[in-house]
Structure 1
Amino acid sequence: MAEHDRAGRRDPGPAPGDLAATPFRGDRDRLVASPFFARLGGVTQVVTAGGSGLLHNRLTHSLKVAQVARAIAERLAADPDVAPLLADLGGCDPDVVEAAAVAHDLGHPPFGHLGEQVLDRLARHRFGLPDGFEGNAQSFRIVTTTDTRGPKAAGLDLTAAVRAAVLKYPWTRLTHPDPHPRTMADPPRGAAEPPESPGTGSAKFSAYVTELDDLLDCRAPFAGRIADWQQTVESSVMDNADDIAYAIHDLEDFHRIGVLQHAPVSAELSRWERGRAEFAQLSDTELAADRRRPGRSLEALRRRLHLRDGWMVDDDAFAAAVTRVREDLVDALLAVPFDGSVAAEQAFGAFSTGWTRRLVAGVHVLADPPTRSGHVLLACDQWHEVQVLKFVHRRFVLLRPDLALHQRGQARLLTSLVEALDQWLADPYEADRLPRRLFDLVELAHDEYSELAKDHPETLVGPRGEREVSVPALARGRAVIDFVASLTDGQTVSLLDALSGRESRFWSDALVL
């Protein structure tokens, strides 16, 4: 595929105003200059950093993903054995991959994944938006629609290749493509409906119905090369880089601040290693009966992997991964409490560098991957290691009661802010005093839903056949969700304080995103 075809431009040179010499580098530069990218410095990765500088936020996470993604892409592009396959699949340009990595978290709302869940629930139940809210779809909406820094003042006017690479889950929640990937016998990762919410559509998706034309446009150059539900190679590289960065740096964060403790992690991994055969004999009921005893949660993970990823899981590789993680993370890094010393920082550096190098080296390309994977994937050993690293993070950080307490408060805060803004929009006496950005978002969404109601009313049908035809209601809901999703953690707290009368000072933080 020629570069100008993948770029979606007749002229492969830079757009007017771009400093970079190629369109893909120009895309990367526009993304880095976007205020939506800058705001990620104030958005939670897992817990709010509180200005300490010790924890990753969405900005530092995105920079690490971009670094890892470019390293993978450059290694693949330099391999003559895979070059023909990459060309057949649509190409693997390091600049495209890096740009997609920079963009991949733009849509994350305040308070990380917790905020994503809250806004999705409010979007669907309060505002009747059939496709709700999803961070990946919000990222695509930003780069194609709500950012205004591109030459056309609607989105960033990115090349087709970069837009396609942002689509980690290249389908809408409910309607596209047809047949929808959630109906497949073995759905792609993210495409299945959440087991706790049947009938709501895919758990993960990368485009709302309002951006369906952009999805179709940027995917057109890849028609006949990959299935309509598959990631492009460049998106697959970005996805793997995201997994690698997440698996490593969140563990470092929570060891650094003393949350990830040696004793419980050591007990879990060591007990499973010693009693591997014993645990395998337990029934699911017996395993769940006392699931907090060491070793049982890890055995539950092994069984879930067999159910979900039978195409890859291997018990011997799983056991080897547990041993490697125990040796490198538990016996080496966590065995010495972090004290800020040079030795402690060097231990962090060695752990991060060694694991990143190992995981990147395990990335390879398949011509015909299983539906649960993209064309770019980790080798068997490294795939299992990532699963175990992510397990440690989930079991010993995300499931902590003190984090749950913190997040319940954040959920109430976000809900209250959405309700307050919705009430403000509905007040005819205050309509002319809305924040200008919110007013603009309402107008934008009204135009979008008016066009959909006229030309594609089927996209406004909910998962159970309910039809929402109130364009003003849909527009108001999408605008409020867009507005709140564009705030930082701190702006969210301060704005609710102002709207609740708890803040005596004038609101001075301009809401211009």
Structure 2
Amino acid sequence: MSDYTDFDRARWAPEPPKRRDRTAFERDRARVLHSAALRRLAAKTQVAAPGTDDFLRTRLTHSLECAQVGRELGKSLGCDPDLVETACLSHDIGHPPFGHNGESALDVVARPCGGFEGNAQSLRILTRLEPKSFAPGGRSVGLNLTRASLDAVMKYPWRKAAQPVDLPRGGSGGPYGIYEEDADVAAWVRQGAPERRLCLEAQVMDWSDDVAYSVHDLEDALVAGHVDFARLADPTERRAVARTARRLYCPDADLAELEEVFAELMAEPYWPDRYDGTPRTLAALKNLTSTLIGRFCLAAEQATRARYGPGRLTRYAADLIVPRRQRLECALLKGVTAHYVWISHRAVRARQRELIMELAELVAAGAPATLEVPFRAAWREAAGDAARWRVIVDQIASLTDTSAIALHHRLRAAA
């Protein structure tokens, strides 16, 4: 599209001209779709462990649904749809086994090499670990995506040491998207970009992720029996959910405001009063999810157009405007899943974290023999203990839930 320049379409390692019937961003999308890292998301946790129920989503199906939401929202604003879809497909590609729970465990494991963050791991996979292209000097450049596609993936375009002070912080600090050892490619991606500002395509990806996550995880929680509509109709239960949402997702909101928004949202006529697994109630649940997605996306599109007008919007020409009301509604839906699924499964989550930390010790004790072949060479070539430890972290992060459990069992039995 004409609003994107040769600078936006540039690749870190220049490539010879290829067929002219595909754009650079179409090629980016294809590279991510065909990557092993994306396929592995099929066996990584979203709400429930993969394989526990054929209906429930995995990290891969979430990424595909996020991509569909983002492609349409981005297109409505004038963004290149393939560029936005590439970012949405890639946004969780760095997630380790057991989702965010595994991420927190790996962050502890990775302290000797600077920590672990799923967003930074995504950039590392796309620009280094997923074998597709190599620079003239022999260094892997991963999928060698365009500058604009990589920029659209970067939800947190800063290093751990340069986190904005106003970000919400957990026990190990706030989110970041760049490891120190990947600062060179990140600087190339962000060349000329306003400091810490996300491009419009990244903002569309981020909101699409929130929308897909909040709506579809609620659907899965209802189908799995963790949540039922009768409980959500109880003001006392809604108050408890609102407290969870406020603590995790919107600490600036007033509890009374959240309760009011929650009650009004559930009073909408498309909310079913029950779900019992029958085709009719399943259809009503599907209508709820599609209506909520439309509500959230249309609100963002209309608010953004109201500020910037009808022209095509790309890169740094605009910011995505999401009304506060829809942000709070989205936070409340995420709060439902957090309250009834994540918080109530503390014992399972603790065992998962223990497995990740034990696995790191077992892999390190036998390295490089305990590493998969692609990681052995990197371990041998690593300059120092911290770099070798990063290779071990890369190996564990690449595993699926099932392969992490299997490897832990095998190494523990052999120890």
TM-superposed deviation, 1:154: 2.8
Q: Does structure 2 retain, via aligned residues, the 8 Å contact 1:161–1:218?
A: yes
Q: Does structure 1 retain, via aligned residues, the 8 Å contact 2:163–2:175?
A: no
* Structure-2 change in CA distance of 1:163 and 1:15 (3 Å): farther
Of 213, 230, 235, which aligns to 2:184?
Answer: 213
**Counterpart Cα distance in 2 of 1:479 and 1:94:** 34
**Counterpart Cα distance in 1 of 2:281 and 2:16:** 45
* Structure-2 change in CA distance of 1:203 and 1:27 (3 Å): same
Q: Which residue of 1 aligns with 2:175?
A: 204
TM-superposed deviation, 1:375: 2.1
**Counterpart Cα distance in 1 of 2:93 and 2:363:** 22
Q: How does 1:118-197 map to 2 (within 5 A)?
A: 118-124=105-111, 128-130=112-114, 132-150=115-133, 152=135, 153-174=140-161, 180-183=162-165, 187=166, 191-194=167-170, 196-197=171-172
CA offsets, 1:307-359, max 9 Å, x none? x44xxx58897455212332359x933x32332x3212211220111111111
**Counterpart Cα distance in 2 of 1:420 and 1:303:** 36
Q: Which residue of 2 aligns with 1:71?
A: 72
Question: Which amino acid in 2 is paired with 1:354?
Answer: T
CA offsets, 1:445-472, max 9 Å, x none? x2xxxxxxxxxxxxxxxxxxxxxxxx42
Q: Which moved more, 1:319-328 or 1:488-497?
A: 319-328
Question: Which amino acid in 2 is paired with 1:424?
Answer: G
Aligned to 1:207, the other structure's residue is in SS state: coil
**Counterpart Cα distance in 1 of 2:279 and 2:198:** 42
**Counterpart Cα distance in 1 of 2:243 and 2:406:** 44
**Counterpart Cα distance in 2 of 1:502 and 1:261:** 45
Of 363, 374, 379, which aligns to 2:323?
Answer: 379
* Structure-2 change in CA distance of 1:14 and 1:354 (3 Å): farther
**Counterpart Cα distance in 1 of 2:221 and 2:4:** 45
Q: How does 1:47-58 map to 2 (within 5 A)?
A: 47-58=48-59
Matched, 1:111 2:111: no
Matched, 1:243 2:244: no
Matched, 1:410 2:410: no
Q: Does structure 2 retain, via aligned residues, the 8 Å contact 1:182–1:193?
A: no
TM-superposed deviation, 1:210: 1.2
Q: Which residue of 1 aligns with 2:36?
A: 35
**Counterpart Cα distance in 1 of 2:271 and 2:238:** 20
TM-score by length of 2: 0.87
**Counterpart Cα distance in 1 of 2:80 and 2:255:** 36
Matched, 1:399 2:383: no
CA offsets, 1:359-388, max 9 Å, x none? 100114367xxxxxx921312321221122
**Counterpart Cα distance in 2 of 1:20 and 1:424:** 49
**Counterpart Cα distance in 2 of 1:297 and 1:422:** 41
CA offsets, 1:404-445, max 9 Å, x none? 1111111111111111000012xxxxx56753223123146x
Q: Does structure 1 retain, via aligned residues, the 8 Å contact 2:275–2:282?
A: no
Q: Which residue of 2 aligns with 1:260?
A: 227
Of 400, 405, 415, which aligns to 1:493?
Answer: 405
TM-superposed deviation, 1:252: 0.5
Q: Matched residue pairs, number?
A: 396
- Structure 2 regions of 5+ residues with no counterpart? 309-317
**Counterpart Cα distance in 2 of 1:433 and 1:359:** 46
Question: Which amino acid in 1 is paired with 2:264?
Answer: R
Q: How does 1:77-92 map to 2 (within 5 A)?
A: 77=78, 92=79
Matched, 1:336 2:274: yes
Pair member with larger Rg: 1
Q: Which residue of 1 aligns with 2:284?
A: 347
Higher relative contact order (CA 8 A, sep 6+): 2
CA offsets, 1:236-278, max 9 Å, x none? 10000000001100010011121112343222xx24xxxxxxx
Question: Which amino acid in 1 is paired with 2:132?
Answer: R
Question: Which amino acid in 1 is paired with 2:59?
Answer: R
Question: Which amino acid in 1 is paired with 2:283?
Answer: Q
TM-score by length of 1: 0.71
* Structure-2 change in CA distance of 1:478 and 1:20 (3 Å): farther
Q: Which residue of 2 aligns with 1:7?
A: 9
Question: Which amino acid in 1 is paired with 2:38?
Answer: F
Of 383, 386, 402, which aligns to 1:474?
Answer: 386
CA offsets, 1:19-45, max 9 Å, x none? 961001100000000000000000001
CA offsets, 1:477-513, max 9 Å, x none? 101100010011111111111112289xxxxxxxxxx
Q: Does structure 2 retain, via aligned residues, the 8 Å contact 1:167–1:206?
A: yes
Q: Does structure 1 retain, via aligned residues, the 8 Å contact 2:228–2:274?
A: no
TM-superposed deviation, 1:160: 0.2
Q: Does structure 2 retain, via aligned residues, the 8 Å contact 1:30–1:156?
A: yes
**Counterpart Cα distance in 2 of 1:232 and 1:63:** 21
**Counterpart Cα distance in 2 of 1:146 and 1:25:** 21
**Counterpart Cα distance in 2 of 1:303 and 1:413:** 28
Q: Does structure 1 retain, via aligned residues, the 8 Å contact 2:11–2:145?
A: no
TM-superposed deviation, 1:182: 2.5
Q: Which residue of 2 aligns with 1:428?
A: none
The share of aligned pairs that are identical, in percent, is 30
**Counterpart Cα distance in 1 of 2:258 and 2:348:** 33
**Counterpart Cα distance in 1 of 2:51 and 2:107:** 26
Of 384, 390, 393, which aligns to 2:334?
Answer: 390
Aligned to 2:321, the other structure's residue is in SS state: strand
TM-superposed deviation, 1:51: 4.9
Q: Does structure 1 retain, via aligned residues, the 8 Å contact 2:113–2:387?
A: no
* Structure-2 change in CA distance of 1:325 and 1:36 (3 Å): same
**Counterpart Cα distance in 2 of 1:495 and 1:435:** 11
TM-superposed deviation, 1:54: 1.6
